[in-house]
């Protein structure tokens, strides 16, 4: 199972939210590059960057930070937030992203998102299936759709998608454990390569997700709050 720390960015700073609520913003570091370098120094190979300013404004905002981290580390970066156009996808790749994650666009404009899968390949495009009460949420989680998470994933699996990041918004930032039952249900129903996100609070949560068969796990607040140390992650990696 791949361990994928997250760096969420607002105003160029490394932050975390609770349940995606922007009013709960907590700044952990003024310099995301410092955070990325520390991850790399402790054996981390992968990084999940979310441009929260971009997610809210429907256009990439913090691409310079992506560019800096990609240029000054060897981390394999997947990037999301504000990717709504062909130009935005190309910008993310040009700035050093190895993969991009599309969520809102996959709901609002399935044709353009499916086109990215065809153009760049399924190994480059991740489907963001972030949900609240099983319903897919969009626009930095500010809007909720009527799409069921499993039906949503299944529809894109038929279009060639191979990798899915699923965040249960009710768990995100709560440090109360991941949505194991939901993730198991998704994997049984679709057989997709699932990257779990949200709620990880301790090493035991990671061991449980590995046992479930998740391809990867994204974690943030558990690291920043000291619940999980980078040394522990290094041993797991």
Catalytic machinery residues: 8, 130
How many whole angstroms separate alpha carbon 163 and alpha carbon 215?
9
Cβ proximity of 171 and 199 under 8 Å = yes
How many whole angstroms separate alpha carbon 25 and alpha carbon 161?
32
How many whole angstroms separate alpha carbon 174 and alpha carbon 31?
24
In the chain, which ranges are E strands?
2-10, 13-18, 21-29, 46-51, 76-80, 99-102, 125-128, 131-132, 135-138, 143-148, 163-167, 193-197, 216-219
């Amino acid at each position: 199972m791949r361990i994928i720390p997250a760096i969420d960015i607002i105003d160029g700073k490394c932050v975390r939210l609770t349940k995606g609520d922007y009013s709960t913003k907590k700044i952990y570091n003024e310099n995301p590059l410092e955070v990325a370098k520390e991850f790399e120094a402790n054996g981390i190979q992968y990084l999940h960057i979310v441009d929260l300013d971009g997610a809210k404004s429907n256009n990439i905002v913090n691409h310079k930070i992506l560019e800096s981290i990609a240029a000054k580390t060897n981390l394999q970066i997947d990037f999301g937030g504000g990717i709504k156009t062909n130009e935005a996808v190309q910008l993310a790749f040009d700035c050093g992203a190895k993969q991009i994650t599309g969520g809102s666009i996959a709901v609002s404009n399935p044709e353009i998102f499916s086109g990215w899968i065809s153009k760049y390949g399924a190994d480059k495009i991740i489907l963001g299936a972030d949900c609240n009460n099983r319903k897919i949420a969009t626009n930095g989680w500010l809007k909720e759709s009527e799409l069921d998470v499993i039906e949503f994933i299944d529809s894109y699996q038929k279009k060639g998608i191979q990798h899915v990041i699923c965040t249960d918004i009710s768990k995100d930032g709560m440090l109360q454990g991941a949505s194991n039952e939901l993730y198991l249900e998704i994997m049984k129903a679709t057989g997709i390569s699932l990257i779990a996100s949200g709620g990880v609070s301790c090493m035991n949560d990671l061991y449980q997700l590995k046992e479930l068969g998740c391809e990867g796990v994204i974690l943030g607040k558990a690291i920043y709050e000291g619940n999980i140390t980078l040394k522990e992650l290094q041993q797991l990696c």
